[in-house]
Chain A
Amino acid sequence: MLYREVGQYKTSYAADMAIFPILQDRIGLAAILLIAFVVIPLVGHDFLLNTVMIPFLIFTLAAIGLNLLTGYTGLLSLGTGGFMGVGAYACLKLTTIFPHVNIVIWVLASGLFSAAVGVLFGLPSLRIKGFYLAVATLAAQFFLEWCFIRIPWLYNYSVSGAIEVPLRTLMGIPVTGPTATSLTRYLIVLSIVVVMTWVASNLVHGRIGRTWMAVRDMDLAAELVGIRLLRAKLLAFAVSSFYCGVAGAMMVFLWYGGAEAEVFAIDQSFLVLFMVIIGGLGTLTGSFFGAALIYILPIVLREIPAALGLPVHPSTVEQLTFVIVGVLIIVFLALEPNGLARLWQIGKQKLRVWPFPY
């Protein structure tokens, strides 16, 4: 079927303002959801679910979170790792104190804690911008990391100093802990990510999204049309940190099953930031592309020699993966500085007018 919008007339503003106004896009989205919810669980084995899909989805959620802040509101943050950590530790404390409440609720509620922390560290954003704000969020990152290591109460005084995820069930099925199957965890992660992506897209396509983008593009004019800068920026920090916090809680509870404070170190902040930049600042699809490129691509590359039966030493493969991924990142950014989402858009535009050049 051709990717064409000819003949698809809109008779109301609501239809024109739909997030996917073109029918083919909606079909594509339905197909992706079908694959994610039905096909992958049916054919997927542990490796695909546990090593590829779950982390990919979690990183996507974190990237969406950072993208709301950096891509949509124009506030550069290096505290992502710290905010993810707040989510993880909040989730641990909540489920320790109230063990009988559904863990999914706690995963989501832990986002509220990181939202609060995010707002706190977002306060300087009214006065400082750009790299200086990034440095301020860096302070948040180091402070939070320090808390994760130095406050034993946070990790329930465990001897190793790490989070140990307890067994929690949902209607009798183990969801977290060592006995939970990867399929259950995958479905929960997928559901949370799908719902939160939908919510994020609602936000950015409405009044609040316009407010954020106005602040990003020209804060002077934003104030002039009656946007309160501090409020808009703090809201962006809150929502962004909420997403990062939920991603962090899922990372520990639904993927690792246990983690030390190093997981939420500055490396994690940079990793998510790279995903956002390579995927495309200010686009939600970009967050998926970015997470896929940075997280899934190395896994695929690592598997290729084995799949082809080539006798290459594992460490050589490891090194080569770094080189190839690095080169690809540079190539993609040189090709399209606005990220993979922009390439995708250009591709769709070309398809739309095909076979004519414009």
Chain B
Amino acid sequence: MRAPSSREVRLGEALLAVENVSLAFGGVRALTDVSFDIRKGEIRAIIGPNGAGKTSMLNVINGFYPPNTGRITFKGEARTTMRPYAAALGGIARTFQNLALFRGMTTLDNIMAGRALKMHRGFFWQLIRHGPALREEVEHRRRVEEIIDFLEIAAIRKVQVGRLPYGLQKRVELGRALAMEPDLLLLDEPMAGMNLEEKEDMSRFILDVNQQYGTTIALIEHDMGVVMDLSDRVVVLDYGRKIADATPDEVKCDKNVIRAYLGEPHGISA
């Protein structure tokens, strides 16, 4: 595990701040008065038992749900509601718990699609697919190939993603998010359903993304070992409320967190 002090230096000011956000679906309160921030360059984990509102939190951040109250400040700009398109434009990328890949397209096309916002050649050039349009394709293909190399998925470049095994699909989805060159990367259970080896690979990729590209990462994960090893700070949600917000070591010993995960402590020593 890294020494927190050495990273403390690299971590900058808050990139994203969530203030007093509440979200309800009819009578169900998914989030209640949640506040926390994500600092530039850090890996921030959001954990909590099932149904704690973690995914809802990500959905609020990238604009799928407008919060009922509260506001979100991203890159110094406060807003209450936002479309996912605007979030993408602002530099927020995301992966999903249950994969949201373009199943009928190849790995290459999926990752190329992640560069939709960066390609600008107009309709006319697309019609003839020569000159500027082709140059643009090639230029972006080069960037995409870097990502493919990075994620070690060169062999499946031209395979339709619907036919790939689950672990590789997760990797392609990470690739698509990286292709957007985001400032903030939201990962919703990137290691769900993976075996140990795949988890180790994915952890390595997440750390590398954070260190090589300096991407800020917010991740939801159930594997506590992974969370403790990867993250700089951890937010713990339970029944839509924030019950802890601290470094992994502190969270591990937090009474409220233990209660949330294990129930009332009857003689269990923390």
Taking Cβ atoms with an 8 Å cutoff, the residues of A that contact B are 12-14, 17, 199, 202-203, 205-208, 210-211, 213-214, 216-218, 220-228, 235, 282
Among B32-40, B45-53, B97-105, B204-212, the stretch that binds chain A is B97-105
Q: How far is the CB of A349 from chain B (nearest CB, A)?
A: 12
How many positions in chain B have a CB within 8 Å of any CB in the partner chain? 41
> A202 to B129, Cβ gap below 8 A?
yes
Chain B 174-208, CB-CB to A under 8 Å as 1, else 0, gives 00100110000000000000000000000000000
Taking Cβ atoms with an 8 Å cutoff, the residues of B that contact A are 62, 64, 83-85, 87-89, 93-94, 96, 100-105, 109, 112-114, 116-117, 119, 121, 123, 126-129, 133-134, 136-138, 141-142, 145, 176, 179-180
Binding site of B, secondary structure by majority: helix, strand, loop or mixed?
helix
> A12 to B138, Cβ gap below 8 A?
yes
Residues in B neighbouring A217, C-beta threshold 8 A: 101-105
Binding site of A, secondary structure by majority: helix, strand, loop or mixed?
helix
> A282 to B138, Cβ gap below 8 A?
no
Q: How far is the CB of A169 from chain B (nearest CB, A)?
A: 29
Residues in A neighbouring B103, C-beta threshold 8 A: 217-218
Residues in B neighbouring A17, C-beta threshold 8 A: 134, 137-138, 141
Show 28 residue pairs from A and B whose CB-CB distance is below 8 angstroms, ordered by the A residue: A13-B137, A13-B138, A13-B142, A14-B134, A17-B141, A199-B127, A205-B129, A207-B119, A207-B121, A207-B137, A208-B126, A213-B109, A214-B105, A217-B101, A217-B103, A218-B100, A218-B103, A220-B100, A221-B102, A223-B83, A223-B88, A225-B113, A225-B117, A225-B176, A225-B179, A226-B89, A226-B117, A228-B85
> B62 to A206, Cβ gap below 8 A?
no
A13 to B134, CA, bound (A): 10
> B116 to A227, Cβ gap below 8 A?
yes
Residues in B neighbouring A213, C-beta threshold 8 A: 102, 104-105, 109, 113
A226-B117, A227-B116 given; 7 more Cβ-contact pairs under 8 Å: A216-B104, A220-B64, A222-B102, A223-B85, A223-B88, A224-B84, A226-B116
